[in-house]
Chain A
């Protein structure tokens, strides 16, 4: 039927238009100075992390005692550390670890936290009360202290640090997700889905969750930065990744003895952590400005 053809064409045009709008919004976002800095830094870091095995000129663990604390040279662009390991290779692998830790803790803590927060906000009543009281309790603890105790007890390792940090990220996500659900729950489309007889679980996943994503995305970027800092701090104190590992905090923790003799041993991993954290903080900031209409100029 000819009428159908027109309708379909109109629909296709509408979808295209929507896609273009999205692209235009994305372009507008990328053009902001802080967003473009963030994307440049993060692009660089992700690229380094993904291609670490290929990009690093040397094995990050291989020591060469005849080349201890050397300055930058053509073979070793950033110099070597106290047992002659290539600093460039170590920092590339370290950035990869830091990135994995940041994203991993957010995925773990955020995943569980958002799940619990959605449940609490959607079902309310007793379930909500139990979950929220637990959350309040967790947030009332001096978390840095307990993370330290937690890691020290589980045994200092990067995996345990990730578990501990994820655990203390979780309550923040629970609160955020619950607040988002509460604001979405009363909207018409949720009511419509309920009236259509959709099961609760599907409403939660298909209707409530996608519409409460915005604040979660902004916070995830900031939490990613914070957790990277936290993990590096734990490693620096000797409670995270253990020495031969090219984790940036651990490199600094053991390398600081050589601060006077060979500052590059400290400077290289320091710049690595700084760039990673800065990238995610910039991104979070830019996203918040962009997505939060109240702050838009």
Chain B
């Protein structure tokens, strides 16, 4: 895991190093002299070779210091943590929505396999997957902010600010979740033990909840783990559409300003989160599935 993080940060440092045009061009006005540019470069350490830049970066990270932003001179750590807090709130809301509705839709679809319900769920989810997140977002803004005036278009503050971004992000996830739940449930429902449970004369609800869903859960945990990547990509766009101060919009603006410390900090934090979640998913198998035991 640490190796993976080292790899990711190294790639990012390399990329920022190779990128044409550095932050000094962005910060200093056009009239700045060559000497002033060189001096600023020295201050940022941009005149050093790649391995020195990377070494300094690592040395700082180990001390828990992500440096200060080149653009506004605020410490990166506090900026990233603030943004992370907002993103986690958004992601948690969206994930809850998608888990609830996605699971219900998926189960309904699998139980009534090849029925109109199934066809409807399949079609609606396909439409959900095919709609770009920014289109959903803009549509919701148009209807609920401009026309109806129920929710604010952007920013944060009250719980009402969270509704539209969360629904936008969830709309995409719900579709995936429902399809995954459906295929997991279909696989489980074809198993022998389901037939046994039915043959025992158990009520259908008990068969579904106690026998089928529990086993489908094992398959679904993997899927939820994979969703994290989607969630991340989706939140970058959602945050941009709603001017939501999360880590996704932070990283996009940092990249366009060539604010290397900020980009590195964001990438480090996001990647750590990504890898941690995957790790948690792997470990949680052992708890959910008694056939898997940690050695």
Q: Which residues on A are within 8 Å of B, measured CB to CB?
A: 34, 137, 140-146, 148-150, 152-153, 155, 225, 229, 232-233, 236-239, 249, 252-253, 256, 259-260, 263, 266, 270, 273-274, 277-278, 281-282, 285, 297
CA distance A275 to B130 in the complex (A): 8
Whether A142 lies near B15 (C-beta < 8 A) is no
Chain B residues with CB under 8 Å of A282's CB are: 126
The answer on a CB contact under 8 Å between B251 and A144 is no
In the complex, the answer to whether B146 meets A260 with C-beta atoms within 8 Å is yes
Q: Which residues of chain A come closer than 8 Å to B197, judged between CB atoms?
A: none
B271 in complex: contacting residue of A142, A229, A263, A278, CB < 8 Å: A142
On whether the beta carbons of B237 and A149 are closer than 8 Å, the reply is: no
Please tell me which one of the listed residues B131, B270, B275 contacts residue A140 in the complex, with CB atoms under 8 A apart.
B275
A278 to B131, CA, bound (A): 8
Interface residues on B, range: 35 or more
A281 touching B237 by the CB < 8 A rule? no
- Give how many A-B residue pairs fall within 8 Å (CB-CB): 110
Q: Are A285 and B131 in contact (CB under 8 A)?
A: no
Task: List B contacts of A266 (CB < 8 A).
Answer: 138, 142
Q: A149 touching B271 by the CB < 8 A rule?
A: no
Q: Is the CB of B236 within 8 A of A237?
A: yes
Say whether B215 faces chain A, with CB atoms less than 8 Å apart: no
- In the docked arrangement, what's the CA distance between A247 and B251, Å? 23
Closest to A151 in B: B255
Min C-beta distance of A31 to chain B, whole Å: 15
CB atoms of B251 and A142 under 8 A apart: no
Cα-based distance from A152 to B240 in the complex (angstroms) = 16
Point out the residues of chain B lying under 8 angstroms from A252, CB to CB.
134-135, 138
Which residues in A have their C-beta under 8 angstroms from that of B11? 146, 149
Shortest distance between the CB of B121 and any CB in chain A (Å): 12
CA–CA, A273 to B127, complex, Å? 12
- The one of B7, B146, B229, B263 that contacts A142, using a Cβ cutoff of 8 Å: B229
User: Using Cβ atoms and an 8 Å threshold, which residues of chain A touch B135?
Assistant: 252, 270, 273-274
The answer to whether A144 touches B232, judged by C-beta atoms less than 8 angstroms apart, is yes
Do A233 and B15 form a contact, CB below 8 Å, given A263-B142, A273-B132?
A: no
A153-B15, A278-B130 given as contacts; is B256 within 8 A of A148 (CB)? no
A274 x B237 contact (CB < 8 A): no
